[in-house]
Copies of this chain bind each other. A is one copy, B any other.
Amino acid sequence: MIVKELTEQECANILAANNMGHLACARDNRPYVVPITFAFADNHIYSFSLTGQKIEWMRANPHVCLQVDDFGQDRGWKSVVVYGVFEELPDRIGSKRERDHAWSLLSKHANWWEPGGLKPVMGPGASRHLFYRIRIERLTGRQAVDE
């Protein structure tokens, strides 16, 4: 096996084909990482969360890193690393379009609220969930292939 770099387009294809990744944030130079489900569109990663440590930390420091695994057949694997900036999509009129967009993208997958979360409920006053997106600043990726 050798490891080779992926192009940006190959990285984007992997983001489009997957809906689970691991999101890292940092506070006071201490990292924190959790699994998330996401949807990729328009140079953004869309996701949601209950409020808690992850949201608090990203509000304090919006620089985040998302890593996505893509296991192929046999022994091959691909890994994409996204560097980006957290942006909240608050439950206000001004963000309704982005929230609806996020909901529409995310809910294309079965059981799209797992793992790591409880299913959000849309509608007036229904949800304790926060929708957010990550503006992608940089993409890198690697692939292991047979020599």
Q: Is A16 an interface residue (CB 8 A)?
A: no
State the CA gap A33–B34 with chains docked (Å).
Answer: 10
- In the assembled complex, how far is the CB of residue A2 from the closest CB belonging to chain B, in whole angstroms? 8
The answer to whether B114 and A75 have CB atoms under 8 Å apart is yes
Q: Is A104 an interface residue (CB 8 A)?
A: no
Q: How large is the interface on A (under 10, 10 to 19, 20 to 34, 35 or more residues)?
A: 35 or more
A residues in contact (CB < 8 Å) with B:
1-3, 22-35, 61, 63-67, 69, 71, 75, 77, 79, 81, 83, 111, 114-116, 118-119, 144
Chain B residues contacting A23 (CB-CB under 8 Å) are 33
Given contacts A23-B33, A30-B63, A33-B33, 5 further A-B contacts (CB under 8 A): A22-B33, A26-B29, A29-B29, A29-B61, A77-B115
Query: Chain A interface mostly helix, strand, loop or mixed?
Result: strand
**B67 & A34 in contact (Cβ 8 Å cutoff):** yes
Q: Show 19 A/B contacts (Cβ-Cβ < 8 Å), sorted by A.
A: A22-B33, A24-B24, A24-B26, A24-B32, A24-B33, A28-B29, A30-B83, A31-B31, A31-B32, A32-B81, A33-B65, A33-B66, A33-B67, A33-B81, A34-B67, A34-B79, A69-B115, A71-B115, A77-B114
